[in-house]
Amino acid sequence: MEKRVVFRSSWLPYALIAPQMAITLVFFFWPASQALWQSMLLQDAFAAKTQFVWFDNFKDLFADPRYLASFRVTAVFSTLVTVLGLTLSLLLAAFADRVVRFGAVYKTLLIWPYAVATAVAAILFVFLLNPTIGVVSLLLHAMGVDWNYLINPTHAMILVVIAAVWKQISYNFLFFLAGLQAIPKSLLEAAAIDGAGPARRFWTIVFPLLSPTTFFLVVVNIVYAFFDTFGIIDASTSGGPVQATTTLVFKVYQDGTQAMDLGSSAAQSVILMAIVVTLTVVQFRFIERKVQY
Amino acid sequence: MVEHRPWRALSGHLVLLLGIAVVVLPIYVAFVASTLTFDQVTTVPMPMTPGTQLVKNYGDVIAHGSTLGSRAPVGRMLWNSFVMAMLIAVGKIAISILSAFAIVYFRFPLRRTCFWLIFVTLMLPVEVRIFPTYKVVADLGLIDTYAGLTLPLIASATATFLFRQFFMTIPDELAEAARIDGAGPMRFFWDVVLPLSRTSIAALFVIMFVYGWNQYLWPLLVTTREDMYTVVIGIKRMIAGGDQATEWQLVMATAMMALLPPVAVVVLMQRLFVRGLVETEK
């Protein structure tokens, strides 16, 4: 797609594009290439000696049980966040789509958690689920659950998943609702005349027609769980207990700030970049094909 | 509706109300806690109706932070968050509307290259290139400055693409007419393109303001002085570690103030927000 009518100037376009190019080159390509370069260096803690080691940092990573564990944690975490988040928001969107009255009010009341920072969301749930004074923990204790996310790895995972899902529900809800409202009502009416009940109509008509939205949201949620949830983990569990909630992004941060292992941290960044690029390419290819139903 | 069954509408309302209750619960509890005294918050169970300390708690943290945790005043943090959010939103919109204009309305050598260089940045969030970016910012002496806080986050392609898509829909006749009338490119930009892009700019502003306000990892690394903290990273430092008791009523007052501005923007400008959200994801 190109414009037929264009302006002519030998310098103006460069001047217009210069600010963005400058920022992109300085704060994007320069650091990204340094990450690639650093990922192949071995540095001691005081940066006195540096050695080029090719792919040793990567080999070390994949031999390191702690790194593999954080892969597992990330996989479990992002699966839970995606599946729970999509299921709950689809449920809410399906109901919101069929109520005629107060639809706009419900929508307003459900979209605002999107605007809450991940770290703030985490703090809210830390307070609710605080083992000694948390309001919800008291209920759990009364029900006989020995809730303590500070020492129980499963509880810690539950806490970060709840905070992450809570924040993401509004986003999923908006896209599902838009997808549902785009489905022609005549299809549903025709199915109803043929005697299909609500559940049958949902699974044979609505759900397949929503598949592009669902696919898009799956990718967005995986990216969200991988990268945007750093604030949740840092503000609530700090990766613990015993690494139970150390995701890949959190580990990059931890190794870079506390362990001061910059080579390994850079190698981890490179692996993350590869993951994002793969996800983005998958998404673009799929959107191009517009998903066949 | 396909069938008319009153109980189905009723069940719909019930499910939605339940959903909203679950979504609102953490905020309600946080709000109640922010209006109590220290003793009330730490009683088990905590009271479930608002107390009388609202003005005192909020005033205290705005003026001089908490007493047991971080003492950085939250008023200053709110200001930092506001400046950061505004700079990111305005900066992103300004640089990307100009570069999109250049890419769409001019033919110049390296045009494709520039386009692809910007396109690639779509793929990599700040989180994955965090330490090398930090090093660059440190080398440039931008630690603890607003420039260091915002510039690396302005480098993103989403807005450029949004404007490019939009400019492609502006009819060629307008540019032709402008040229015939003797208007130069910048005149055309100010008098035609900018007014036509108003809604897109506003929608993008809502999204970017929320994005900027809610940044966590980057301010955590780039700010070392208390007077440069943003409110989102300031909260965590109020939670005392170790044996000290956390003053939850003050932490929750800060949390409420940290979430109110972006939530207000989203709720008040809901139409623009939804539009911005859908457009930036295309």
Could you tell me if A143 and A135 are in contact, meaning their C-beta atoms sit under 8 angstroms apart? no
Contacts of residues B169-172 at CB distance under 8 Å and 24 or more positions apart, as own/partner, are B170/B196, B172/A3, B172/A4, B172/A5
pLDDT tens track for B195-222:
999 988 998 899 899 999 999 988 988 9
Phi and psi for A292 in degrees, rounded to 5?
A: -85, 130
Grade residue A47 by pLDDT with cuts at 50, 70 and 90: low
Distance CA B213, CA B231 (A): 9
**Type of residue found at A239:** G
Q: Where are the beta strands (DSSP E) in B146-274?
A: none
- Asked if residue B5 is part of any domain, the answer here is no
- The answer to whether the CB atoms of B129 and A32 lie below 8 A apart is yes
Task: Give the residue ranges of DSSP H helices in B43-157.
Answer: 54-64, 74-105, 111-121, 130-139, 146-154
- The answer to whether the CB atoms of B213 and A109 lie below 8 A apart is no
Grade residue B261 by pLDDT with cuts at 50, 70 and 90: very high
Contacts of residues B172-178 at CB distance under 8 Å and 24 or more positions apart, as own/partner, are B172/A3, B172/A4, B172/A5, B175/A3, B175/A5, B175/A6, B175/A7, B175/B105, B176/A5
Half-sphere exposure of A198 (CA within 13 A, CB side): 11
pLDDT tens track for B112-122:
888 888 877 77
- Write out chain A residues lying below 8 Å of B270, CB-based: 107-108, 111
- The answer to whether the CB atoms of B259 and A28 lie below 8 A apart is no
Distance CA A110, CA B23 (A): 7
- Asked if residue B25 is part of any domain, the answer here is no
Distance CA B102, CA B110 (A): 12
- The answer, yes or no, to whether residue A293 has pLDDT greater than 50, is no
- Asked if residue B24 is part of any domain, the answer here is no
- Asked if residue B229 is part of any domain, the answer here is yes
Instruction: Please state the ipTM of this predicted complex.
Output: 0.87
pLDDT of residue A42: 66
Chain B residue with Cα closest to A106:
B16
* Residue B129, min C-alpha distance to chain A (Å): 6
Top residue of B1, B2, B151, B192 to mutate, by most chain A CBs within 10 Å, is: B2
**Type of residue found at B279:** E
Could you tell me if A267 and A248 are in contact, meaning their C-beta atoms sit under 8 angstroms apart? no
Question: Which residues span the domain enclosing B271?
Answer: 68-280
- Asked if residue B46 is part of any domain, the answer here is no
**Type of residue found at B189:** F
For range A103-122, the mean pLDDT: 88
Helix axis angle, B158-168 to B270-280, nearest 10° = 90
pLDDT tens track for B223-244:
988 888 999 988 888 876 655 6
Q: Which of A5, A12, A188 lies closest to B176 in CB terms?
A: A5
- Write out chain A residues lying below 8 Å of B181, CB-based: none
Q: What number does CATH give the domain A60-289?
A: 1.10.3720.10
Domain count within chain B:
1
- The answer to whether the CB atoms of A135 and B131 lie below 8 A apart is no
Q: Is B180 on the interface with A (CB under 8 A)?
A: no
Q: Which of B44, B98, B135 lies closest to A133 in CB terms?
A: B44
* Residue A239, min C-alpha distance to chain B (Å): 14
pTM assigned to the model: 0.88
- Write out chain A residues lying below 8 Å of B45, CB-based: 135, 138
A 10 A CB-CB count for A173 gives 26
Grade residue B4 by pLDDT with cuts at 50, 70 and 90: low
Helix axis angle, A262-289 to A211-223, nearest 10° = 170
Could you tell me if A203 and B203 are in contact, meaning their C-beta atoms sit under 8 angstroms apart? no
Which CATH number does the domain housing residue B123 bear? Answer: 1.10.3720.10
Q: Which of A98, A124, A277 lies closest to B1 in CB terms?
A: A98
Distance CA B36, CA B78 (A): 22
Alpha-carbon separation of residue B40 from A214, B56, B97, B158 (angstroms) = 45, 14, 52, 47
Q: Return the domain boundaries, chain A.
A: 60-289
Tokens in use for A49?
A: 């000696």
- The answer, yes or no, to whether residue A211 has pLDDT greater than 90, is no
Could you tell me if A134 and A224 are in contact, meaning their C-beta atoms sit under 8 angstroms apart? no
